[in-house]
Structure 1
Amino acid sequence: MAKVNAPVYSLNGGEVGEEALARLDLERLQFAGALYSNMMPRVIGSMTLCPGMEHIADINIDEVLPLEYSYSGGSNLVPVLSNLEMRIIRDNGFVSRVAVATAITNGDFASFTGWTNASTGTATAGVSGGNLVLTGAFLGRAVARQTLTVAGGDQAKEHGLRITVVRGPVNVRIGAAAGGSSILTALALDDGEHSLAFTPNAGTIYLEISNDKPRPALVDRCVIEGSGVVVIPTPWTAADLAANIIRYEQHKDVIYVASGVYQQRMIQRRSDTGWGVQRYKVEDGPFVASDVITALQPDGYVGVINLLADRDYFDSRMIGRLYRLFQSGQAIFDTFAAAPAEGAYIRVSGVGGSRTFNFALTGTWVGKVRLQVATDDGSGSPGAWSDVNSFTSNVSSTYTDGDNNVIKYFRWVIVPGELTSGSVDTSLIYGGGSQTGVARIVSITNAQSAVVEVLSRFYSLGSTFEWDQSSWSDYDGWPSAIENFGGRLYWAREDMINGSVPDQYKSFDDAVEGDSAPIARSTGASTDRGVLWLLGLQRLLAGTDVSEISIKSSSFDEPLTASNWFPVEASTRGCKNLRAVKCDSDGIFVQSSGIGAFALAPIQGSLDYGSTDLMAMHEEICDGFEIVDLAVQRRPDTIIWFILSNGEARALTYEPAEKVVSWWRRTTQGQIKRVIANRGGGEDNVCFAVNRNGAMRFEKLASLRDCRGGLVNCLADGFTRFTATAAQTTFSVPHLDGMDVTVWANGVALYDQDDLYTVAGGNVVLPAQSAGVSVVIGLPYNGDYQSTKLAYGAQGGTALFQPKKLSQLGIYLLDTAIGKVRAGKDFDSLRQITETNKGKPLQDGEVIAAYDADMMPVSSDWNTDSRLCLRAQAPYPFTAGALVLDVKTNG
């Protein structure tokens, strides 16, 4: 006797493997399928034909790596890395410049002609060796200015200012008046190249480049950019991008980048069309004590000096390394040429004669110079200053402070109006106490001599065996992973993790004490490859090739600190050298095999993390191909995108709280190479790098609201959308030349999969269109669904191993061209599900907002493995809300 099985209510179970189809003990398997190809399961329970991919730009520039950049300003901004270059996609194309006649005289700094030295104090500006050299001073600012003339037709055009900094930082200003910044302000441009956008809106503008630091800054080039796409140099090669060594983290308008091979970089957005790439340079660490027995000696106090070693020591790979020297005694020499002026200070401690120091004033000058004192404010810094004495002529003498065991600071000062003319050379020399000076190597002279720029002044010219070196350099290696967590910027190199001072992402000052002290701790990982990625979730997590490490504090609510750091292995899956991504409190990573995906999630009832196999119900979802990229989309549903080495994508609709962990496939005509997901207004901007029609393209996933069959319908791949002009017939799609496409115009499919249009000469020619008509032209694709073995819900128990037949189908459809939906027992015997809607014949391609009708027959044979197959065809929309299957068993 025939028996009726239970219905299928929802379609968000996703694809499961054949090996899991007999898991009748799992309720979620009732809603799963054996195939979801271009069929997107929704968290709400429906299944829809996946949106198409919109062609944004051609990026046929070898290996590419788009970077995620979340921006609330309205534009979709995507930095795209390629071989040694970076370009910026803004909305529908690369950022580019228009031609303008505005020019900068001697922008290559062959000479100083055209520039004006507007420096103050003892600072200077000039040209040497093809560079603009801005030598700042403690009591002066180095400034180079130039007046630019802008033609009337160019004043409203956006200009690009290209500036290449050899040694920074420098500041750039453009104003309507000399020294002003009403048109452009760009501060702290460091070593690298910058493309700054500005619109003059004036016939005469004033450019200024300056340096406030008491050391030379070097600029190699400062020019107005020519027309064309903006291309900014980077250090990363195509091989680096292909090897997936790039790790990055955005904070506000900066993307911090680590690679393990090169010094860290900062990708900076100064405006939507103004970007730069510069070195990530710090001046206060992180330091480690040297294990080399060598005496180092500076031959100057400030500026660019030589650092000398007492034996062969320096190596060319040490360029960029920091050195911190601990020195006995303190000597300060400053020159005051203008008022107000404040000199550096010495620190005096001890008792009796140990509190005596020498002071002197020399030079030709008229005015008054004050010697001031301050006591320690308790934090190692001077408190309020007061006068000890004042002098109106040159002097050389000693001073002994009588407050034994009190820490005091002394300095020279000139207050406003008290230096009438000339310049005065000041000195403070104290034989007691100790200070530290910091310098960065800029070049190597020989094995015993290096040229350094002084970052924190030296107080003695004596040699010392007491010194530290920075943790990172070409010699020591560079960080390979980065994360922003708990207000600190964390960098990982090998087994060590360095965390910055809280809220100061470029400071590792170990003089800071307490909970705010910088962090330099090990992960304790049992591997020589070190940390491959960092994730900041409810804990800081580190991935290695053998385990995933959870770094705890003593209490779940306490912050990580240098003394509150306890790393443990959360799981031992092992990670592929590929970035991990965040999804709320979960971390998604690829296992070391390259074909497994796992979630690091908080363990219920515990304060720690554990790993969960996301492919437990479908071990072969990747068909044996490695995962090469991944990203997380959060709107309208959470979808984790995985790109495979064969150019296909796998997607996971992911909402664990709703028990939705649903796999599906995304295929297209071409090979998908990369994926990113940027947060934005409405739905996320999910973008792909696709090798299509022999070239690399940048394409964006269409929004669901544009895939419902309305006047604008974006169910096509590599599509371009147009708004027709009056009587327009020719539509240019050069990226689809020679390919067969569909055409949707104003709510109707002019060409579909039954009648495709072959693009010739890069154009599609249509009947004349009315002005304002929306036209979408792109590649077709199918959405295929196959049910499981229908082995559940039999009245006499399981229907597994029983002959059965799918006799009738009930289907609830939304915004669907139901006349284009096909159903059957397999994909070789599909037929149209209906030709009527409520008794009325369907018009060809008619889209029905809601379809709910009587059960309809489905041709099927008696079979122990009876299935339902559905097919939807782009460009026609399809959304299924539910299925009801009348399955009869016979056994």
Structure 2
Amino acid sequence: MTRSSPPQRSFASGEISPTLAGRTDYVRHQTGLAKAAGFIPIPEGGFTRAPGTIYEGRTRGDAQARLIEFEFAVDDAVVLELTAEWMRFWRYGQLVTSGGSPYEIATPWNLPEIKQLKFAQTADVTYFADGKRAPRRLRRFALDDWQLDRAPFSGGPLRPWNTDQDVSVEASAATGSVTLTATGGDVFDAGMIGSFFAMKVVDWSAIPLWTGNTVFSLGDKVRYDGRVYECTDEATAADKNVSPPSHATGTVLSTKDGPTWKFISTDRGLVEITAVASATSATAQVIDRIPDEIVGGGTWDWAAGAWSDLYGWPAAVTFHDQRSVWAATESEPRTVWASGIGDYLDFAEGVNADEAFAYQLATQRGLNRIVWLQGGQRGLHIGATGEVQGARSTVGDEVLSIESAAFGMIASIGAHHAQPIAPMGKPIYVSRDRSRVLELRFQLQEDSVQPLNLSLPARHLGAERFDIIAWQSSPLPIAWIVRRDGDLVAMIYDAAEDVLGWCTIPMAGGVVEEVSVTAAPDGGDDEVRVVVRRTIGGETRRHVERLAPFWGLLTGDMKIAEACHLYAAAEKIFEEPGQVVDGLEHLEGEDVLVWTDKGQFGPYTVASGRVTLELPVSRAWAGLNDDGQRARTLSLYAATRSGDGMGRQTKLTGAGVRLQRTAGYRIRAIESEWGRDERVGDWFERNGQTVPGDLVKAWSGVDPVNINAGWAAAIALEFAPLGAAPMTVLALTPTVEARD
């Protein structure tokens, strides 16, 4: 028989896949847990109890909602609450009101559209794409003054120009409201109402190009650089005509004593279609003056707007390289449109590097629709259902442009529609099958971006399908992921420190439907909010709840009484010590625990929105307790004289547990034998006292636990909270014996 004390000094990998149970050589196994439900692995190596949630309110009509962050500055953040056809506004846990009622505005989106909605924010404006209608623009004028309207794009974008010279379009006038008439074929459709339509001159035989040293007279017209000008002077000597006109508006003297030129039009006219009478007749409002050559004469060089009810509207949007980038209409699901540099609304396409451009991705697989766009450290990333593509400039550090853009596939694993996160500029996305989380990481050796499967060590957690992902950078780098079954999953990730840990966060019976992260009002730790569906008093409620602060408890910045590990909790701070904790109307009829500066009380049943304690306290948290929080080790390693003790009978004779600011916890042993049910031992309750007493102090140090388990093929230890008490485990050293 051999006795050993194999320490586990880190649990930073959190819950790992059961298929890794035999990989004792793998670092994730050496720093992993068999189960981490309600316990978050920390980069330093331990695991700490997950934070509870603070109740902030309910969604509009208890309806399903999406939360979208709107951040203007590090200390100025608003959360948009979108329910079917309505939008409300939360600022640091409080609904924005107007006239004593929640301030709200109408929206065009139903619930399925809200779930698919993509958005991008710049300053006080957010743009939305839904793939069903014209993109919307949300502007903030004041906290209770927001406007949602149609984004006023200019110049395009346009579909490919017509090449059939037998089908032409002419306009009835150059400006104002005009009639467009097509000949030689059908051109117009009612679905084009509200979209652009452009026409170019093809016959310039009546207007010559500008030439220098030429005499021009009053009324003469010339062309230069795609524009038409008219001379407004009497005859001008040739030797005074040395500089061509280049302006785009008004009347300008080209050079001293030279001719004065009036800008007439470009070679292209642009209109917005306002009505369609038939396939060959439409009414339109002129935006850019129609060249006179098209009025009454017509042109076969025309192009319809790329975005319309007929051809579809973009379903994805982002900002990248000072451009707004849109993608994926119904008719062009693989096309990306980029605005002009510095003007997010300008889509007048051109050949210059700062002008708008469009690009259609090459087909790589059968399922190819673009579902999201995301800027990153190494260019623009384009998620499609069949693969992920990338676009970056081929010219040094220049911005992406029509001249420098290089597109190509970077991952053959398709993408789910959920908007990715991009910590440190490296996009992290959910795979199309929703079972994996992948990072697009640049590989210097190959000078390319490659996908890295971050969920591989805990691949079993993706069996229930990942759905929504959000990133919290402070106090810990955590990706919060909502699963299809309503569980909240946390991925602790710090690539620089090789930290990658997974866990689940039970919500005391609640089902998580949404997650959003914004900066805190003081610019410090990020705030994480969730929409939780709960059954209260037999009725379905949807709470907006914020994850409570927890990191300060480990560092000593928070007092133990300030810790909240209860759910849908409300805080009560008394001016003078008191016993009645009120403000619990949202938990009417539910059983709650109360965590105070005098220890733990309860459970109590909430009646009339309050509970009464046995003793007066100075502060209290009251909320739901989750009894399902567990952290379970992998099978304890047992050494023998011949090496690994796997397959040998093992016995546990005690354990040393290193704790950090822990008020209390429970621990038990679980024995396993092949072909038999587990033998679960009794809980050992530990609270820093020889005899269990009030949980009023947090202890740090090593707790020698006199816990034992009989001979078994495998033994594990399981930890659980003691009520609402904070607990953090930093290391574990069991004492085990193995038969040689």
TM-score, structure 2 as length reference: 0.86
1:732-751 → structure 2 map (5 Å cutoff): 732-745=583-596, 747-751=597-601
Please give the per-residue CA displacement for 1:573-624, whole angstroms capped at 9, x wherever unaligned.
22223222212232222222222222221225232111122232232113x3
Please give the per-residue CA displacement for 1:718-754, whole angstroms capped at 9, x wherever unaligned.
1122333556735122221221111123x23442xxx
- Residues 749 and 845 in structure 1, CA contact (< 8 A), matched pair in contact too: yes
User: Alignment partner for residue 262 of structure 1, among 133, 152, 157?
Assistant: 133
Aligned to 2:681: 829
How far 1:428 sits from its partner (Å)? 7.0
Aligned to 1:313: 187
Task: Report the Cα distance in structure 1 between the residues aligned to 2:266 and 2:515, rounded to whole angstroms.
Answer: 54
- Confirm whether residue 875 of structure 1 aligns to residue 695 of structure 2: no
Structure 1 runs, 4 residues or longer, greater than 6 Å off: 351-354, 373-376, 379-383, 409-414, 427-430
Task: Report the Cα distance in structure 2 between the residues aligned to 1:861 and 1:71, rounded to whole angstroms.
Answer: 60
- Confirm whether residue 273 of structure 1 aligns to residue 144 of structure 2: yes
Task: Report the Cα distance in structure 2 between the residues aligned to 1:482 and 1:285, rounded to whole angstroms.
Answer: 16
Please give the per-residue CA displacement for 1:44-78, whole angstroms capped at 9, x wherever unaligned.
21211000111112004433111122343535410
- Confirm whether residue 756 of structure 1 aligns to residue 630 of structure 2: no
User: 1:350 and 1:323, CA in 2 relative to 1: closer, same or farther beyond 3 A?
Assistant: farther
User: Alignment partner for residue 686 of structure 1, among 523, 528, 536?
Assistant: 528
Please give the per-residue CA displacement for 1:784-807, whole angstroms capped at 9, x wherever unaligned.
110011237666422322222232
- Confirm whether residue 519 of structure 1 aligns to residue 357 of structure 2: yes
Please give the per-residue CA displacement for 1:418-474, whole angstroms capped at 9, x wherever unaligned.
xxxxxxxxx9798xx963222112333444433323222234233322222322111
Task: Report the Cα distance in structure 1 between the residues aligned to 2:371 and 2:416, rounded to whole angstroms.
Answer: 8
- Residues 442 and 452 in structure 1, CA contact (< 8 A), matched pair in contact too: yes
Aligned to 1:549: 389
Aligned to 1:630: 469
How far 1:769 sits from its partner (Å)? 5.5
1:395-794 → structure 2 map (5 Å cutoff): 402=238, 407-408=244-245, 435-460=267-292, 461-462=295-296, 463-493=298-328, 494-511=333-350, 513-526=351-364, 527=366, 529-537=368-376, 538-554=378-394, 557-622=397-462, 624-668=463-507, 669-680=509-520, 681-693=523-535, 694-705=540-551, 710-724=560-574, 729=580, 731-745=582-596, 747-751=597-601, 755-766=602-613, 773-782=618-627, 783-791=629-637
Matched residue of 1:617: which SS? helix
User: Alignment partner for residue 801 of structure 1, among 647, 672, 692?
Assistant: 647
1:7-406 → structure 2 map (5 Å cutoff): 7-59=7-59, 60-72=61-73, 74-98=75-99, 227-241=100-114, 244-291=115-162, 294-310=167-183, 312-327=186-201, 349-350=210-211, 355-358=216-219, 402=238
**Structure 2 unaligned residues grouped into runs of 5+:** 253-260, 672-678
Matched residue of 1:801: which SS? coil
Please give the per-residue CA displacement for 1:217-260, whole angstroms capped at 9, x wherever unaligned.
xxxxxxxxxx522221222211223xx42111222222222222
- Residues 358 and 429 in structure 1, CA contact (< 8 A), matched pair in contact too: no
Paired letter, 2:609: G
**Structure 1 unaligned residues grouped into runs of 5+:** 99-226, 331-345, 360-372, 390-397, 415-426
User: 1:788 and 1:228, CA in 2 relative to 1: closer, same or farther beyond 3 A?
Assistant: same
Matched residue of 1:70: which SS? strand
Please give the per-residue CA displacement for 1:640-667, whole angstroms capped at 9, x wherever unaligned.
1221121111111111222221110111
TM-score, structure 1 as length reference: 0.72
User: 1:54 and 1:68, CA in 2 relative to 1: closer, same or farther beyond 3 A?
Assistant: same
Task: Report the Cα distance in structure 2 between the residues aligned to 1:75 and 1:722, rounded to whole angstroms.
Answer: 26
Task: Report the Cα distance in structure 2 between the residues aligned to 1:90 and 1:412, rounded to whole angstroms.
Answer: 47
Paired letter, 2:411: S
Aligned to 2:258: none
Paired letter, 2:498: K
How far 1:780 sits from its partner (Å)? 0.5
Task: Report the Cα distance in structure 2 between the residues aligned to 1:307 and 1:572, rounded to whole angstroms.
Answer: 46
User: 1:642 and 1:705, CA in 2 relative to 1: closer, same or farther beyond 3 A?
Assistant: closer
Matched residue of 1:735: which SS? helix
Paired letter, 1:534: L
Paired letter, 1:690: V
Matched residue of 1:28: which SS? helix
Paired letter, 1:678: T
Task: Report the Cα distance in structure 2 between the residues aligned to 1:545 and 1:17, rounded to whole angstroms.
Answer: 26
User: 1:52 and 1:76, CA in 2 relative to 1: closer, same or farther beyond 3 A?
Assistant: farther
Paired letter, 1:583: P
Paired letter, 1:789: S
User: 1:730 and 1:835, CA in 2 relative to 1: closer, same or farther beyond 3 A?
Assistant: closer
- Residues 37 and 784 in structure 1, CA contact (< 8 A), matched pair in contact too: yes
Matched residue of 2:460: which SS? coil
Please give the per-residue CA displacement for 1:365-393, whole angstroms capped at 9, x wherever unaligned.
xxxxxxxx9998xx88999x9x976xxxx
Paired letter, 1:860: A
Paired letter, 2:140: R
Task: Report the Cα distance in structure 1 between the residues aligned to 2:568 and 2:641, rounded to whole angstroms.
Answer: 49
- Residues 510 and 532 in structure 2, CA contact (< 8 A), matched pair in contact too: yes
Aligned to 1:2: 2
- Residues 347 and 408 in structure 1, CA contact (< 8 A), matched pair in contact too: no
- Residues 169 and 300 in structure 2, CA contact (< 8 A), matched pair in contact too: yes
Task: Report the Cα distance in structure 2 between the residues aligned to 1:728 and 1:9, rounded to whole angstroms.
Answer: 42
Paired letter, 2:530: F
Aligned to 2:674: none
Paired letter, 2:210: S
Matched residue of 1:618: which SS? helix
How far 1:867 sits from its partner (Å)? 0.5
User: 1:309 and 1:347, CA in 2 relative to 1: closer, same or farther beyond 3 A?
Assistant: same
- Residues 825 and 859 in structure 1, CA contact (< 8 A), matched pair in contact too: no
Matched residue of 1:665: which SS? strand
Aligned to 2:675: none
How far 1:544 sits from its partner (Å)? 1.4
